[in-house]
Amino acid sequence: MKNIPVIMIIFGGSGDLAHRKLYPSLFNLYEQGLIHDNFAVIGTARRPWSHEYLRGQVSDAIHETHDQVNENEVKDFASHFYYQSHDVTNVEHYETLKKLAQELDDRYSAQGNRLFYMAMAPRFFGTIATHINDQHLTGSGFNRIVVEKPFGHDLASAEELNEEITASFDENDIFRIDHYLGKEMIQNIMPMRFTNPLIKNIWSGDYIKNMQITLAERLGVEARGGYYDTSGALRDMVQNHIFQIITLLAMPEPKDLSSDSVHQAKQDLLKSLIIPTPEEVKNDFVRGQYLGSDTTFAYKKEPNVDPNSTTETFVAGKAKFTSGPLAGVPIYFRTGKEFKEKKTRIDIVLKHINNPYGQAHSNNITIEVDPESKIYITINGKKIDEPGIRREDLTYAFSKEEMAKVPDGYERLLHDVFVNDSTNFTHWSELKRYWEFIDAVENAWQKENEAGNPEITQYLPYRMGPKESNDIFESPTEHWIYE
Ligand code: BG6
C-alpha cells in the first residue's frame, strides 16, 4: 500500500470519538503501511495535556480495541502524536498550531499535505473552519477536511457552515462523514442491486410494493441528553443515515463506479424527492418519546432533558420519488431509542401475485445490517406430506472468519480520505436536499407544538416503539415486516 505523507490535525483530540474510533483506526492503517514514516498527528483540545500524555492515551486506545499488539509497533506509532492545547475561539492559538504543523511537516517530510478532522462539538465547526481560512492553516500540498455530523441544525445553518468551510476547501476536499456508509451491508446495496438479474429486474413499482427501513436501538439517550434534546431522532438518524440508505436503494444505476458517477446518480434521484406538505406530515409521520421502566428513566426525566421536551426519540415516516427505478413506491422508515433490541434492517416487500395455491406469501428481501450482516429472500415451495405452501429463507451470509476481517466503518472511511475517494461521503447537494425534507417535517411539527397540540406518543420502552407507527401505511394490506 502506498505510504501517504500527511500532517493530520484532530480538533477534539481528547474526546471520546478520537479515543474509541480514530486512534484505533489510524493504528490499523499504520500497520497496513498506508500512513507510516511520513505522518504526524496533532491532537488539539482545551485540556493542558503534554505530548507524552496524549501518546499514553493513544496507546491505551489501541490496547482497549486490539487483543494482541506488537508493543514496539504501538510505541512507534504513538511517537507520531503531538498535543497542542487549543482554544478554538482564540486566534493566536491557530498561529501556534500552524507553526507546529509546519515544523512537523519538515521533520516528517509530509510534503505540505494537511488533513483536518472536526471531531468536537458541532457548534465549533464554523469557528474552526473560519480560522483555518483566516489564519492560513492550509498547507502547500493537498488539504482535506473531515466533518462529523450533524452538519448544521437545519438547511440555513448547514448552508452557513458550508460557506465557512468552502472558503478554504473545494467540495472535492470536504469529506462529510456518515459512518453508516462505512458499514459492510450498506456498501453491499449497490452490488446486490446491480449484479443480480433476479433482483435488478424486479426493482420497480411493477413488482415492489414498498420498502421498509428500521434503525432500532436498544439504548436510550444515556449521557447525551443535552445534545439529543436539541436534535431528536429525525435530525440524529433520518437526516443522514436513513436518507443515505434511501438514496442507495432508490437511485438509478450509475454509469460507472467512480465517485463522480455515483454522486451524479444520487443527485439525479434526489431532484425528484417529494417534500411533504404539513398535511402529509400529519398523516405520514409519527413521533414518540419513551416512557420509563423500573430501572430506567422516561425520556423527559433523563439528565439534561427539558421536562416539557417535545423532542422525539422515535420517528416513523415515508419518502417517495417521482423518478428513478422506484418512482411512486413508498419507502417507509422508522428509528427510535429503547426498542426491544438493536437492529438495523431493510425489508423490500414484493407485491402478491395471483396463483392457484391462493395462500402464498410474497417474496420479501431483507438486508440485515446490524447486528448481523446478511441478506435473505423468502421463497415459497410445496410442503412435503400435506397440501399447502411452505416458506423458507435463502440466506446470503458471511462466515465468522470473513466477518472478523471486516474493518470498522471508521477505518474504511479514513482510508478513503487518505486515498482521496469520496464515494462514501455525503456531497453538499445531497445534504441540502435531505435538509429540505427534514425542515419541512420539523416546521410542520413546530407549528403543531406552537398551537399547543403536538401529537407525541409516549411509548413503552423495550418493545417496538409506538403502535401508531402502523398507521402510516398507504393501504390496509401493508404492515411492518419486522415486528
Ligand atoms: C449516531 C447517532 O449517528 O448513530 C446516535 O448520533 C446513534 O444517536 C448512532 O446511537 C447509531 O449508530 P450505530 O452504528 O450503532 O447503529
pLDDT tens, 217-234?
999 999 999 999 999 999
Inform me whether the pLDDT recorded for 359 exceeds 80.
Answer: no
pLDDT of residue 362: 85
**353 found inside a domain:** yes
**419 found inside a domain:** yes
Domain with residue 436: its CATH number is 3.30.360.10
Q: Mutate which of 236, 242, 344 to test ligand 1's pocket (most atoms within 8 Å of Cβ)?
A: 236
For residues 368-380, average pLDDT = 96
Q: Let me know whether 252 and 395 are in one domain.
A: yes
pLDDT of residue 373: 96
Inform me whether the pLDDT recorded for 118 exceeds 90.
Answer: yes
Q: Is 217 in the pocket of ligand 1 (CB under 6 A)?
A: yes
**268 found inside a domain:** yes
CA neighbours closer than 13 Å in the CB half-sphere of residue 151: 31
* Domain end (from 99, 133, 148): 148
Q: Let me know whether 305 and 367 are in one domain.
A: yes
**477 found inside a domain:** no
Atom number of ligand 1 nearest to Cα 221? 8
pLDDT of residue 393: 96
- Give catalytic status of residue 241 as yes or no: yes
Q: Let me know whether 123 and 212 are in one domain.
A: no
For 241-300, what is each residue's pLDDT tens digit?
999 999 999 999 999 999 999 999 999 999 999 999 999 999 999 999 999 999 999 999
Rounded distance between C-alpha atoms, residue 369 and residue 182, angstroms = 11
**162 found inside a domain:** no
Residue 98 Cα to ligand 1 middle (Å): 33
| 3 state DSSP class of 209 | strand
For residues 146-169, average pLDDT = 96
Kindly compute the dihedral angle of the four CA atoms of residues 203, 209, 215, 217, in this order, to the nearest 10 degrees: -140
- Count of domains for the chain: 2
Q: Let me know whether 141 and 189 are in one domain.
A: no
Residue 84 is placed in which grid cell?
497542542
* Domain end (from 148, 170, 203): 148
Domain with residue 118: its CATH number is 3.40.50.720
pLDDT of residue 372: 94
Q: Let me know whether 144 and 193 are in one domain.
A: no
For residues 418-435, average pLDDT = 98
Q: Let me know whether 141 and 230 are in one domain.
A: no
Pairing of strands 286-290, 314-319: antiparallel
Q: Let me know whether 217 and 346 are in one domain.
A: yes
* Domain end (from 96, 123, 148): 148
For 318-339, what is each residue's pLDDT tens digit?
999 999 999 999 999 999 999 9
Nearest Cα residue to 116 out of 7, 262, 243: 7
Residue 23 is placed in which grid cell?
486512534
> Which residue's CA is the nearest one to ligand 1's atom 14?
180
Inform me whether the pLDDT recorded for 342 exceeds 80.
Answer: yes
Which one of the listed residues 241, 263, 415, 427 is annotated catalytic? Answer: 241
Kindly report each contact of residues 165-168 with a partner whose C-beta sits within 8 Å and lies 24 or more positions away, as own/partner.
Answer: 165/125, 165/129, 167/129, 167/130, 167/133, 168/129, 168/132, 168/133, 168/137, 168/138, 168/143
For 399-425, what is each residue's pLDDT tens digit?
999 999 999 999 999 999 999 999 999
Of 57-66, 248-257, 258-267, 353-362, the one with minimum mean pLDDT is 353-362
Does the global pTM surpass 0.95?
Answer: yes
User: Is-contact 263 174, C-beta < 8 A?
Assistant: no
Q: Mutate which of 21, 147, 153, 179 to test ligand 1's pocket (most atoms within 8 Å of Cβ)?
A: 179
pLDDT of residue 470: 96
Domain coverage including residue 239: 181-472
Atom number of ligand 1 nearest to Cα 370? 16
> Which residue's CA is the nearest one to ligand 1's atom 13?
180
Q: Let me know whether 319 and 432 are in one domain.
A: yes
